[in-house]
Structure 1
Amino acid sequence: MSIAGKFNALVISIVVSVGLLVCGLTSVREYRAERDRVFGELEQQVNGRHQIAYGLYRSNPSAVRSAVQPLLQSPVASIAVFTAQGSQVLALGSTEVLPTLPEARPGAASADISVLSLGAEGQSASSGLLGAFFPPGAAFHINVPAYAGVSPLDEVTPEAFVLAQSEAAVGSSRHVMGYIHFVVPQRTLLQQLLPQLTSILLACGLFGIVSIAFSAALTRRITAPLERLARAADDLAAGKLEKPVQTRGSGEIQDIARIINSVFSGMSEYKTQMDVDHQLLSMKVEERTAQLSKRNKELNKAVKQVTQVKNRLRQFAYYDSLTALPNRRLFTEQLSLLLRLAKRNEEQLALLFLDLDNFKRINDSLGHSAGDLLLREVGARLANCVRESDVVAHYSEANGKIGVSRLGGDEFTVVLNHVAGPEAAGVVAQRLLDALIEPMLIDGHELVVTPSVGIALAPDHAEDVEGLLRCADTAMYHAKAAGKNSYLIYDSEMDAAGLDRLTLETDLRRAMERDELVLYYQPQVNTRTGAVEGAEALMRWMHPEQGLIPPFRFIPLAEEMGLIGEMGDWAIREACMQVQRFREQGLVLPRVAVNVSALQFTPSFVRKVKDILEETAVDPSVLQLELTEGVVMGDTHASVNALSELREMGVSLSIDDFGTGYSSLSYLSRFPLTELKIDRSFVIAADKSEEDASLVIAIIAMARGLGLDVVAEGVETSEQYHFISEHGGTVIQGYLFSAPVPVDEFADLLRPWHFVRQLQDLDGNARQMPG
């Protein structure tokens, strides 16, 4: 838009705005004046017609109607008459619904005029000019009191009433006889003002036209030279100006022309210089382009590296680093999504929860590195044996590739979508069992690992992730308790067993506080002398309600709960203290053996044993620690140091259940051991199986060659006793001599020559004993 156009637009907008403002203000003022005039006229007519007050005084409706009828000639839509007490006497006009007297006079004194502006529906409306337009049907409700010079209680003649009314008009006391209620439509008032408003609008319009015409002429005269200069400036900016500017005008316009001409001269010189600089710039641009291309390649390389790091971080966040299977986090997210989809589609979903049987034993025997390799192989087999039609939990893509989830440790899960029922889930579970029963070659060892599988269905058993996991886990524990290497489908009755386990956990936490743990002792008898050379201290739990609980029920539970360390320390301390009590009774127990859990054998274990020996003042040679193969094979260097320190203290060390693990026999020459215990599983079949017999004979011979003592545990029959004795075994532990017994009963077994007669009966002839 040109300068003249902009200036004219500004003037037009100002003139129109002023005109509209003047029209608006004038219209509002005229409307208010007309409104006040009508209100005053109505009040004068009511006060000037004594017939109205007299009709109300006499309670004569027909007289009142005759008196107020002429008032309808004013711009009034309807009239209502109220007595002083508020009852409506009559109503004239077309209005059908009128407010009551309290509604028409809200908060007004009895002698005051009340004015309300209401819409057609009775809502509040503006009393100004706006009310004539919105809301439709808005009207003024004027409530005027009708006065009389006499009290309504007095009885006077018409002449006396008129006389009293004249006196009241000049200022004597007045009494309100009633109220005249007028309804004046606001649009009617506006229609009466239309001639005046039209005249005002025409005057404002004429003034605006004259002002605009004058402004246009003046603007054209002023801006013509400026427009020429603006065009010259545009041409100069676009490089189209070919000669200096020539213009006429005031001094300021001449100054602008000179500035433009000076710029034109400078631009010509600058253009010449730019041509030279352009060539130099082109050379630098080419050099810079080469640099940017190189940096672009470096940036692409960096983006690729960042993407790779992002993918690795996602792998770490959602996948197990050992098996590359989805982890618990991804499992939870995807199972939650699958549950929602199954619920929406009214389909059934199955969760298979797998836990490897006796996996801890493999870790203890072969070490954690072998256990990791085994877990990796298990994950691969599970993933390979699940069909492509099965949808497995927490695989995030929707294209259907199958994966198996590892929740942690030796726990795996498989989620089957669109299952037809529990039988279909059982078919997949059996396929998993069959896949894992095949032997695995781990670090040169051929291993067979079996799983226990629990199955839970949604929505039959649970509808959320936590509930489904709990049900499947409960079914898995029951499958493990039922013999392992099997699967079970969850049943609500299994919760009772889970509750028993939870109760047992709670009671076990309090067992030590309540002094419910006790030690039973099983003697180790020398078959040549009949003397008790030692005893194994076995922990028992004397439950106040369930009675004596065997260790196979609570020892694994204590290991899971992290209580085994505290309970193991108590067992060592209690066994040492019992040795001291035996000596005070004149009884001698040469050696007491205490089992040590793999979880108990921590870096602080040696210090704890030393503190216990100092606390109980027991000769360290009396204490024997029975270790599993997993204890000494966990960390070879640390284990050698710890066991060597125990041997230096005088504590003897024994390997319990020797031959049942998978560890190399080379550790027998590297660890400072003093004794081997032949496992009961070999002893009970030694007199029936040539393989077990050869193994027992080899263990005894090997122990002799290494200078180690041998104890055969689990001897129950005379045949087993004779086999062990004939092949060099001199120390026997088992039910043949005594079951584990409480300390009071064990004291009787420590009496001299307690087992001599029994040995004589076993040997078939009396044995000459020394002393």
Structure 2
Amino acid sequence: MLRYFTIRQSIGIMLVAVFLFTSAIISAYLVYDRYTSSKQQLSNELIQTVRSGAQQQFAIYFSDKEVLLQSIDNLLKHSSVEYAAVYDRLGTIITSRTREESKELPTDFSQIRTDFSTLDVTQIERESPISGGNVIEMSAPIFSPVNPYQKNISRNTFGAQLANARNQGAQNVLGYYVIGVSTEALRGNVYGYAAKVAAVCFVLFLVVIYLTLMVTHKITAPLANLAQLADDIADGKLDNTFKTQGSGEARRIAGMLNLVLSDLSSHKAKMDVESQLLNMKVDERTEQLSRRNQELNQAVQQVTQAKDRMRKLAYYDSLTSLPNRQLFTEQLELLLKISKREKSNIALLFLDLDNFKRINDSLGHTAGDMLLREVGARLSNCVRESDLISQYFDGESKIDVSRLGGDEFTVVLNKLDEAKTAGVVAERLLESLQAPMLIEGHEIVITPSIGIAIAPQDATSVKDLLKRADTAMYHAKTSGKNSFSFYSSAMKGTSVGRLKLEADLRRAVERQEMTLYFQPQVNIETGEISGAEALIRWNHPEHGLVSPARFIPLAEEMGLIVQIGAWTLLEACRQCKAFHDKGLKLPKVAVNVSSLQFNAAFIELVKQVLIESQLEPKLLELELTEGVIMSNAKASIQALHELKSLGCTLSVDDFGTGYSSLSYLSRFPLDELKIDRSFVVDYDKSDNNASLVSAIIAMGKSLNLRMVAEGVDDIAQFHFLREQGIQIIQGYLFSQPVPSDEFALLMADAPFKQQIDDMMKD
């Protein structure tokens, strides 16, 4: 059918195109001829009007404007005339008139007729000085037999000369008529004629289309039947026969095609039978293959699942389902190669959870595992919510968040645009862990320390990049924890020094490098020493005394704080017993208890120390921070009662910096509250600070607790605390921490009574 319509349309389009082309040429010729004849007819009519009669000659010769204006008005009656003017023989304008009275014609005849000598009528198409459109400007000379150069000719004489010379040819030019005919008006007169021609052509066009359709249909009808028959054969319809009218080649072709159709029909019937038999065999084989394929798919699925499980065990952490160290190392090595080729940056964020060991020791490993799972989920959602870590291995394994082991996690940022973007992600990671986690009924807030290293500027291998990020992480941890740090070359020496310090700290207790200093607690009413706080110091063989602020956090991270704490407790009790054996009656010795020490085993340790040192239990005071006893308040109450039953006294250190509940404090078997140094130092910064110290003291007294102010360094603080009712003060105002032998001299000399009397006089 497509071929039939194409032939039919081609014939029709060809005939229509020929007719349209012929009609266009004839129409254009007729319209143009009408326009030309109209223009010539108007020109002849106007020239005949201005040259008719002797009255025009009289008016031009005697410059009779009234007569000339009447003549011009007759010219303007033609709709195509836009303006007219009369000039004398010298080109000076006599009079003129236009359709727009506000506009005038140029008076200089040279702008209109450049050649004065010509005697012919001129027609020039130019821009109209009146309307701005195009006009055909006709310039017609007016002839007279009278010599225009004669002077003082009267009208009668002029008329007589005209009468005498009537039969003679006109030889003299009296003046000129200039007439402007609008070309647009001329064309407008032809538009009606053009419309009639177009209408006739359109009618003829419709007739031609009709005749064309009739002719092409008659010519192409047999071809249409052939095309339909071809479509039927292609569709397998062999029952139809080819029918056509007339005689000739079409009828002979029809007979041949019908014979072919008959043969094809019989052959098709035979093929249908064979095809049916073949289909039955194929269906049988297909069913067999389907069963075999189903069995094979089940086997493949089992193998794939087993492979996935093996991959998962090999490449994913079983606790958090995050990529493990093996997958992290392989994928990061690949990413480093790609970044080297594409010259892009990769950021590695190394996270270590602060004080995670304390949670394991306090709540057990089950709670620790639950916390690690929650941390992994928060980090994954924080880095990319739309790309959670997959549970099974595939070719596109992501290592956005990985767990290397323990409480160490890594975050990889690929194709980093700039380094500060890693800092933005690190801040988001810190923020994601700020919300408390509910673990076995306990609200726990865990903070991370994050180290950031950038490849390739910091390192180009997995090993070195991980080492740089780990170094930066330790720098963040030593800078206060719950923060992040970018790696810099300056940290390399710090990292090496830290490793050496860790190694030295492990051997410090064995080498007896630890020593105790004592800081007195002074009763400002009597000037006597009411107790002492035992403070550990590390006498390093190379660096001298190492500050506790430097090695205590390191000992907690390394897990040595329990061993160091046990040594401190035993040594403090032995020294206190030694003071008493020398006759120096120290009322009590206070020992700080780390959060990692305070567990069920600590109570047994206190029992053994008291037995081994033979110190009276009432002389031992155990100092615990608010955070330690409030981390698990119910368990702390039981443990504190057990310690109290041993005869020891209990003190809350750094009171005011935590979030103690007053109801819990009243249930704790406490003996003493120590006001944190920060409140003492800042008491005079504002009225609120001073009021806060007063409130803490009042609360402690309401609970019948002994109040101790630590960190008192100047006389103003002394007077303020004394006015608030504080009796026991500890600080540099009286003495800094000193070795045991110097502390023995302080107890023997009792120098604080005189010092207090002197301060009271100031």
Which bin holds the TM-score, normalised by the shorter protein?
Answer: 0.5 to 0.7
Matching of residue 588 in structure 1 with residue 582 in structure 2: no
The answer to whether the Cα contact below 8 Å between 2:361 and 2:596 also exists between their aligned partners in 1 is no
The CA distance in 2 between the partners of 1:707 and 1:308, in whole Å, is 68
* Equivalent of residue 684 in structure 2, options 681, 687, 691: 687
Which amino acid letter does the alignment assign opposite residue 516 of structure 1?
A: E
Unaligned runs of 5+ in 2: 1-293
Q: Deviations over 1:591-639 (max 9, x none)?
A: 0001111222232222221122112211110011111234334554543
Matching of residue 536 in structure 1 with residue 533 in structure 2: yes
Aligned-pair CA distance for 1:390: 11
- Residue 340 to residue 507, structure 1, CA distance change in 2 (3 Å): same
Q: Secondary structure at the match of 1:660?
A: coil
2:759 equivalent in structure 1: 762
Q: Secondary structure at the match of 2:422?
A: helix
2:451 equivalent in structure 1: 454
1:556 equivalent in structure 2: 553
The answer to whether the Cα contact below 8 Å between 1:386 and 1:402 also exists between their aligned partners in 2 is no
RMSD over aligned Cα, in angstroms?
A: 4.5
The answer to whether the Cα contact below 8 Å between 2:430 and 2:482 also exists between their aligned partners in 1 is no
Which amino acid letter does the alignment assign opposite residue 546 of structure 2?
A: I
Matching of residue 673 in structure 1 with residue 673 in structure 2: no
Q: Deviations over 1:7-39 (max 9, x none)?
A: xxxxxxxxxxxxxxxxxxxxxxxxxxxxxxxxx
Q: Secondary structure at the match of 2:713?
A: coil
Alignment of 1:695-714 (within 5 A): 695-714=692-711
- Residue 332 to residue 710, structure 1, CA distance change in 2 (3 Å): farther
- Residue 396 to residue 337, structure 1, CA distance change in 2 (3 Å): farther
* Equivalent of residue 564 in structure 2, options 564, 567, 570: 567
2:253 equivalent in structure 1: none
Alignment of 1:105-254 (within 5 A): none
Aligned-pair CA distance for 1:662: 3.7
Q: Deviations over 1:479-514 (max 9, x none)?
A: 444566664443444222111111111111221222
1:433 equivalent in structure 2: 427
* Count of paired positions: 466
Alignment of 1:698-737 (within 5 A): 698-737=695-734
The CA distance in 1 between the partners of 2:679 and 2:603, in whole Å, is 32
The CA distance in 1 between the partners of 2:561 and 2:628, in whole Å, is 14
Aligned-pair CA distance for 1:472: 0.5
Which amino acid letter does the alignment assign opposite residue 649 of structure 2?
A: S
The answer to whether the Cα contact below 8 Å between 1:365 and 1:662 also exists between their aligned partners in 2 is no
The CA distance in 2 between the partners of 1:394 and 1:635, in whole Å, is 35
Q: Secondary structure at the match of 2:709?
A: strand
The structure whose Rg is larger is: 2
Percent identity of paired positions between Structure 1 and Structure 2: 60
The CA distance in 1 between the partners of 2:390 and 2:345, in whole Å, is 14
Which amino acid letter does the alignment assign opposite residue 615 of structure 1?
A: E
The answer to whether the Cα contact below 8 Å between 1:606 and 1:645 also exists between their aligned partners in 2 is yes
Q: Secondary structure at the match of 1:750?
A: helix
Alignment of 1:414-429 (within 5 A): 414-419=411-416, 424-429=418-423
Alignment of 1:336-347 (within 5 A): 336-339=333-336, 341-342=338-339
1:214 equivalent in structure 2: none
The answer to whether the Cα contact below 8 Å between 1:364 and 1:629 also exists between their aligned partners in 2 is no
Q: Deviations over 1:416-448 (max 9, x none)?
A: 22335xxx1332223432664589453799999
The CA distance in 1 between the partners of 2:701 and 2:355, in whole Å, is 31
The answer to whether the Cα contact below 8 Å between 2:595 and 2:628 also exists between their aligned partners in 1 is yes
Which amino acid letter does the alignment assign opposite residue 430 of structure 1?
A: V
The CA distance in 1 between the partners of 2:318 and 2:679, in whole Å, is 40
1:645 equivalent in structure 2: 642
Alignment of 1:18-417 (within 5 A): 325-328=322-325, 330-339=327-336, 341-342=338-339, 348-355=345-352, 382-383=379-380, 386=383, 397=394, 403-407=400-404, 411-417=408-414
Aligned-pair CA distance for 1:401: 7.3
The answer to whether the Cα contact below 8 Å between 1:334 and 1:395 also exists between their aligned partners in 2 is no
The answer to whether the Cα contact below 8 Å between 1:333 and 1:394 also exists between their aligned partners in 2 is no
Which amino acid letter does the alignment assign opposite residue 513 of structure 2?
A: E
The CA distance in 2 between the partners of 1:325 and 1:664, in whole Å, is 39
- Residue 513 to residue 399, structure 1, CA distance change in 2 (3 Å): closer
The CA distance in 1 between the partners of 2:638 and 2:311, in whole Å, is 41
- Residue 443 to residue 474, structure 1, CA distance change in 2 (3 Å): closer
Aligned-pair CA distance for 1:453: 3.4
The CA distance in 1 between the partners of 2:362 and 2:682, in whole Å, is 23
Aligned-pair CA distance for 1:713: 0.9
Which amino acid letter does the alignment assign opposite residue 473 of structure 1?
A: D
1:473 equivalent in structure 2: 470
1:11 equivalent in structure 2: none
The CA distance in 1 between the partners of 2:642 and 2:455, in whole Å, is 56
Aligned-pair CA distance for 1:585: 2.6
* Equivalent of residue 618 in structure 1, options 598, 604, 615: 615
The answer to whether the Cα contact below 8 Å between 2:434 and 2:447 also exists between their aligned partners in 1 is no
Aligned-pair CA distance for 1:686: 1.7
- Residue 611 to residue 461, structure 1, CA distance change in 2 (3 Å): same
TM-score, normalised to structure 1's length? 0.52
* Equivalent of residue 513 in structure 2, options 489, 504, 516: 516
The answer to whether the Cα contact below 8 Å between 2:348 and 2:412 also exists between their aligned partners in 1 is yes
The answer to whether the Cα contact below 8 Å between 1:366 and 1:663 also exists between their aligned partners in 2 is no
Unaligned runs of 5+ in 1: 1-295, 766-771
